[in-house]
Structure 1
């Protein structure tokens, strides 16, 4: 199943989206102790003569919906709101219709107005659904076209592991009317929806709607790879993988751990026959692990596939079987939202009747990134690093970029800047990046900072993350170069930089606020800063060397943005401020003559590699001094090292300084040795096994091993400068707005390498100054550059 076609994706308010919302009659609404109100809408549409034509529906919901046509999941949404903008999805249901009667079902979950539920989903606390569209003469924009009811017997709760999500379910199959999507289901007792104006709080207007700015998520069925272990060896669980039923006798309590083969995000569904009163528990888990030190924050993990010494720790979804399922019409249970897992534990506790488990299916879902960027080399390890990086990134891309899909599904600016860069090296599709830039620009407060995560129902501020957002905009300028889009953010960028300018001391330090207020001065998950939650020791003045260097780097990024937008005076101002502050900081109390390192603050001993990395990225140290500084720092075990989270910054700094030999992929190879199939969040908490800030090869291999980087905004020019390498050969493609750049190089005699580059004619190519035997040919289809290093 492919993702549904997106018909309306310009992101602008459309007359098609004007119309009434509708919901349930007040007396029918149920909530109980659930963190969300749950309601379902059902419509019958008869088609006498099927015409193979688009049948678009515009759908919005507060907070979430799942659209099913004739029992098939077609779409899940809507796209998460951004600031004050809410979105309506446009879904073409035409390919899913058939002659005769068609059943359209929309399952709506509305989170409460509190912070409970999925923290990344803004909500009003007012359950509601909007549908616009006509199919076969049936106007689905009107309440009369639908029947609706609250979902009894289904409760959503936070869970102890997925504390930010509120997606865990406890469902009674009988009272929840599990067969509500079937053609034979009798909905005579269901309600007719009421207009939104008849709902409580109707005086508060609904937010204005815009078209969904991104494509729909993929919906691709994938097989379960195998069985990891089972509690009862006598049960033939392999039959389930063969598509055969597995019978669990009455009075049983059995379980099986299914191995998906790799970590994924997927919608789940289980089909059963008979077995009234049986309880199914489905536990999604990233890996096998030892008992956590603190749930969910501190885990103890080694070999992720070790089911002998480890166990699965996750929050189960529980379903009580109604018992009405037959071979022809099995009873199906599908958790509302997707789950993140490498392993699934299916536990079945039967009552007085046996139950037949007929099927367990997974439908993989993620942002449908059209991948054209490739990389291959003489190293098999590099191939594995690339493949795992792609998988990790896709698992962290849905309606927004995400930090970790199992635990949070929140979009953080630091994480997103990395993920955006990685996706730009895989695809020319920048729609999710634009969405992210807009999300953060729409967040924030009068201090000038953007929020550290957006969208989110709980504001949080990490000053450095606002600077990562500025750099994200600069990256978009370099790789895409859309001036009208970029100009919208000049004022927001200036406000972010103003926050730091207001906190500059006379000696050049940014003075950071205390961490016990609304601001968290996070830098990295490194073990030396475990107790301070990723914050270096800043001394009594709160003089922050790393924040100062980050601010300087952001000023330089902002200067490139302003220059691109024709704001030459503003660009000059930003560069002047950056240069003056870099000179002041490099020679001030941040520098320790005794050790030859930068301190984290204005006194004491140097503490971290991070301060040295940011000194280089800020341009405070350059050339041979920068190379010497980083070579010593990365070999010094007394300094706090960079983690996966800041590896991108570290590797960029090493390459910028010409200290390429200090780039070390050992931590990634160690993860492969521990049977991870996606990159872990960190080595401090060991919490998430899927966090895309670790997908550094996706930028590093194309930009440095192949040597391709934008040399002018919008990739109208590309610099080709492969870094020193031990490889015998490397090749790959790098997407640009103008087409693919292809690079292939091979090692010749001695230390020479012959490089061949093919690019679209619109992209000018430059080669290193040290290159020789340079030739270039240009025709109407492409330009080809060859040289020797």
Structure 2
């Protein structure tokens, strides 16, 4: 966390500089090249210092739209944090560790997305390439234009790509038009320009937005090795030398390629260093896996064993680079795509001309949100251990400046995905800064209709009505696990607006009536095979009565009631609860129920079609007790009902546990992914598009909450239920982080089949144990509260209320 002193310093710096000045290229001195979806500009400053001290050397920086900050050639930071609504962020970067006595070069590479193309859909832009920077390093005031030289970058073309449709990060770069030594002290920048500022030229275009301090920490920048060489076209080249840090010589007039294996799927910056090789062409293709030729790029893929390079190939959008040949052993020519790539495999292809080329190195720098993980889980099941590890890896790959749906294809923050990811991260860490950022992002996207956008931030609006309800549930989760009342109170108005949208669309017989989908509104529910042609939307009939949306609305009303109650809005809490109760009674006796099949329909007619309707009937409280148990046990085993995919597995497993139908929880789909050699969880089984989608990281909640049995029972984890679910495991143990300190649980099975449970928790947390717990003993300990108890072989007494443990 930031120190109070740093927070105050950031606020002081930014309060003095709101609105500018930003640095831009002087008008008439250079023109941005025609470069596809974005243009690129470089800024360079020389700073001289004596012996580096221990005091911070802070730089405050923002850009329209992206920057990469280098000090003496080393990548130090990439940003800024994506804007949220109308608020843009300025990053604080301490560059002290990268400074040396004497002259230093600070280089900033700025990427500016066009307002006339999608580019990276999650990144706001004004269409005015520029950079803001503050800070005094040595005797140099970096806020002064005279401290800098700048120019547009020629020979660099950014394109949208076919696979990375929403990203616009693919590059074609002409190295012969580049100045490779611009980060070196001896570089002659006489032809570069002193930047202009906003107030030095006539106002034009969109005004610069207000700035706020970056609300999240900087991304990790961790060098990682290449693990293996998977396949190559030139058997005479020993590509394994790259793994030993040794150069490789490519003969003249050679077309050579190699597939490099990173070992696991990751997000990382790529960098290539070469000597000589004038005119040679390089392609870097990042790919998630080996696969058969896609059915429909980028949407429909054909995948089996992800490591099968014999029967599969790599499909991705290549970055292309033309080697200038100016690199030497001491000062190689370096090419690095601007933004990180997502891959397990990287195909490197080098086509030389009459001149040989020497490949010095290819480097991977892994990057993701620096989540401080303190939560853990282990058990007698080796498979569960693998499920946990893959889930953590998947989640981190989908956490950067926001939560993301899939880092390879979109890097967009969707509310349904984010609610799951936020909940997973709360079981790993007490760091909730990215969750707060997500809640604020969706609040800022609110529409006059009441809905929040389905994905935010985004320059292209899209609305999935159910996703606004997931946003409400995300806030309710945050209340349970963190419990910050002043923070939560800010969102009451937007929550009420979302609920108002659904209230206005209720029919007299108790259905939410869903509007027809169009290019902006999409009634998505799940990626299940039965809804393939409708893109995840159930059949709603001529009236467009939506049973699933109705149940989701009831559940959101109950979540909103708990939020309002936490914020002291008791009257509003009662209103939401009353609306939920009234609608529940209407739905229970209404046309959604099919008496013959004993299931809920997806609409007001036809036959029952999905597990989803039954699942949401339980999660909303419309069906309870033994009826809920019977309903879900039948539904998940019924082959005539559309099953839940990975996307809705979190809700399904929660519903099964709530209904005491734990035996129906099935991890086989995850085991099947392991058998296909995935190292992160796939998006779905319908499109087979992304191999990294964190809504599948369900073990990160399920194992701590149900196998260890730890869940919050009061806002901010002031109380906790300790209720391990029935299990066939021999033992389990782990740690669940809370704002008050960790809760540790371990249990083991005895010869009689009962389970002996030990809980250690901060003394400020009230504990509630199962009614079936016996032999309860509290053990004195300094600073901790340790309790042991025994659960009978049959598990807990499922129909009895939990008894509070007296402190």
Give the TM-score band, short-chain normalised. over 0.9
Alpha-carbon distance between aligned partners in 2 of 1:69 and 1:139, rounded to the nearest angstrom: 16
Contact preservation (8 Å) 1:63, 1:127: yes
Q: By how many angstroms is 1:33 displaced?
A: 4.0
Change (3 A) 1:415 1:505: same
1:679 lines up with 2:663 in the alignment: no
Q: Secondary structure at the match of 2:176?
A: coil
TM-score, structure 1 normalization: 0.98
Residue 650 of structure 1 aligns with which residue?
652
Separation of aligned partners in 2, 1:428 and 1:16:
33
Larger mean CA deviation between 772-781 and 721-730 belongs to 772-781
Residues 1:565 and 2:545 aligned together = no
Q: Which whole-Å CA distance do the structure 2 matches of 1:201 and 1:292 have between them?
A: 48
Over 3 Å counting, the alpha-carbon distance change for 1:203 and 1:304 in structure 2 is: closer
* 2:218 counterpart (187, 201, 216): 216
Preserved CA contact (<8 Å) 2:126 2:206 = no
1:20 aligns with 2:21: yes
CA distance in 2, matches of 1:118, 1:483: 35
Correspondent of 2:155 among 150, 153, 156: 153
Gaps of 5+ in 1: none
Determine whether 1:354 maps to 2:332. no
Q: Distance in 2 between matches of 1:193 and 1:505?
A: 61
Q: Which moved more, 1:237-246 or 1:47-56?
A: 47-56
User: Match for residue 383 of structure 2?
Assistant: 381
Contact 1:23/1:199 (8 A) holds in 2: no
Q: Give the Cα–Cα distance (whole angstroms) in 2 for the partners of residues 469 and 714 of structure 1.
A: 18
Which moves more between the two structures, 44-53 or 121-130?
A: 44-53
Q: Does the 8 Å CA contact 1:11/1:213 hold for their aligned counterparts?
A: no
Structure-2 separation of matches of 1:727 and 1:633: 26
Q: Which residue number in structure 2 is paired with residue 665 of structure 1?
A: 667
Match of 2:581 in 1: 579
Aligned counterpart in structure 1 of residue 479 of structure 2, from 477, 480, 493: 477
Tell me by how many angstroms 1:199 deviates.
Answer: 4.9
Check whether the contact 2:266–2:344 (CA below 8 A) recurs between aligned residues.
yes
- Paired residue for 1:609? 611
* Other structure's SS at 1:736 match: coil
Quote the Cα distance in structure 1 between the aligned partners of 2:690 and 2:335.
27
Whether the aligned pair in 2 keeps the contact of 1:10 and 1:211 (CA below 8 Å) is no
Shift of 1:176: 1.9
Contact 1:369 1:427 in 2 (8 A): yes
Selected match of 1:420 from 419, 422, 425: 422
Q: Secondary structure at the match of 2:479?
A: helix
Deviations 1:335-361, CA, capped at 9 Å, x for gaps: 000000000000000012000001000
Per-residue deviation, 1:748: 1.1
CA distance, structure 1, for counterparts of residue 697 and residue 117 of structure 2 = 31
Q: Which residue of 2 aligns with 1:310?
A: 312
Cα deviation, residue 516, structure 1? 2.5
Partner of 1:494: 496
Match of 2:723 among 721, 736, 739: 721
Distance in 2 between the 1:178 and 1:444 partners?
45
Deviation at 1:445, TM superposition (A): 1.0
Distance 1:624 1:471 in 2: 25
| Counterparts of residues 161-240 of structure 1 (less than 5 Å) | 161-199=163-201, 201-202=203-204, 204-240=206-242
Q: 1:7 to 1:300 in 2, by over 3 A?
A: farther
Give the structure 2 partner of residue 590 of structure 1.
Answer: 592
TM-score by length of 2: 0.96
1:96-135 pair list within 5 angstroms: 96-135=98-137
Of 289, 292, 295, which aligns to 2:294?
Answer: 292
**Matched-pair contact (CA < 8 Å) for 1:765–1:785:** no
Helix, strand or coil for the counterpart of 1:66?
Answer: strand
Aligned to 1:543: 545
Name the SS of the counterpart of 1:171 in structure 2: strand
Q: How many angstroms does 1:15 deviate by?
A: 2.6
Residue 20 of structure 1 and its aligned partner are, at CA, apart by: 1.1
Whole-angstrom CA distance in 2 between matches of 1:52 and 1:717: 43
1:514 maps to 516
For residue 740 of structure 2, what is the aligned residue in structure 1? 738
The residue aligned with 2:506 is: 504
Cα 1:559/1:606, change in 2 over 3 Å: same
Q: Give the CA deviation at 1:709.
A: 0.2
Moved more, 149-158 or 517-526: 517-526
Provide closer, same or farther for how the CA distance between residues 201 and 528 of structure 1 changes in structure 2, counting only shifts above 3 A.
farther
Of 430, 435, 443, 2:445 maps to: 443
Residues 292 and 300, structure 1, Cα contact 8 Å, conserved in 2: yes
Residue equivalent to 1:556: 558
Q: Deviations over 1:541-586 (max 9, x none)?
A: 0000000000000000001000000001111111111111112112
**Equivalent residues of 1:70, 1:104 under 8 A apart:** yes
Partner Cα distance (2:667, 2:646) in 1: 11
The CA deviation at 1:288 is: 0.3
The one-character-per-residue Cα deviations of 1:224-280 (angstroms, maximum 9, x if unpaired) are 101000011111101111111100011010100000000000011010000011111
Q: 1:75 aligns with which of 71, 74, 77?
A: 77
Question: Runs of 5+ in structure 2 lacking a partner?
Answer: 792-807
TM superposition shift of 1:52 = 2.3
For each residue in 1:415-465, what CA deviation from the matched residue of structure 2 results, as whole angstroms up to 9, or x when unmatched? Answer: 000000000000000000000000000002110000000000000000000
1:746 and 1:6 mapped to 2: Cα distance? 47
Task: Give the conservation status (yes or no) of the 8 Å contact 2:272–2:362.
Answer: yes
8 A contact 1:648–1:696 mirrored in 2: yes
Q: Report the equivalent of 1:31.
A: 33
Alignment deviations for residues 386-434 of structure 1 (CA, whole Å, 9 cap, x no partner): 0000000000000000000000000000000000000000000000000
- Contact 2:708–2:745 (8 Å) recurs in 1: yes
Q: Deviations over 1:115-134 (max 9, x none)?
A: 42100001111111000111
Tell me, in whole angstroms, the C-alpha distance in 2 between the residues paired with 1:376 and 1:546.
36
Q: Does 1:396 align with 2:398?
A: yes
2:804 corresponding residue in structure 1: none
Q: Cα deviations across residues 508-543 of structure 1 (Å, max 9, x unaligned)?
A: 000000013531100000000000000000000000
Shift of 1:178: 2.3
Q: Is the contact between residue 592 and residue 606 of structure 1 (CA under 8 Å) also seen in structure 2?
A: yes
2:419 and 2:471 in contact (8 A); partners too: yes
Deviations 1:44-98 (A, max 9, x none): 0111232221011100100000000001000000000000110000000111100
Equivalent position SS for 2:734: strand
Number of aligned residue pairs:
787
Tell me if structure 2 keeps the 8 A contact 1:513–1:542.
yes
Distance 1:199 1:75 in 2: 30
Measure, in 1, the Cα distance between the counterparts of 2:6 and 2:182: 28
Counterpart CA distance in 2 for 1:540 and 1:631 is: 31
Note if contact 1:7-1:91 (Cα within 8 Å) is conserved in structure 2. Answer: no
CA distance 1:10–1:690, change in 2 (3 Å): farther
- Three-state SS of the structure 2 residue aligned to 1:291 is strand
Mapped contact 1:17–1:58 kept (Cα < 8 A): no
Task: Please say which of residues 614-623 and 176-185 is displaced more in the overlay.
Answer: 176-185
Match of 1:408 in 2: 410
- RMSD over aligned CA atoms reads 1.5
Distance in 2, Cα, partners of 1:390 & 1:8: 30
**2:798 paired residue number:** none
CA contact (8 A) 2:395 2:697 kept: yes
Classify the secondary structure of the residue corresponding to 1:26: coil
The answer to whether the 8 Å contact 1:62/1:110 transfers is yes
Q: Distance in 2 between matches of 1:299 and 1:655?
A: 34
Query: Could you tell me how far apart the structure 1 residues matched to 2:5 and 2:171 are?
Result: 30
Shift of 1:4: 15
SS at match of 1:261: strand
Aligned equivalents of 1:566 and 1:211: distance in 2?
30
**Partner of 2:150: helix, strand, or coil?**
strand
- In the TM superposition, residue 16 of structure 1 has moved relative to its aligned partner by 5.3
Deviation at 1:30, TM superposition (A): 1.4
Aligned residue number for residue 797 of structure 2? none
Quick check: 1:374–1:733 contact (8 Å CA) kept in 2? yes
Distance 1:590 1:10 in 2: 58
Distance in 2 between residues matched to 1:8 and 1:39, nearest whole Å: 30
The Cα of 1:749 is off from its aligned counterpart by 2.7
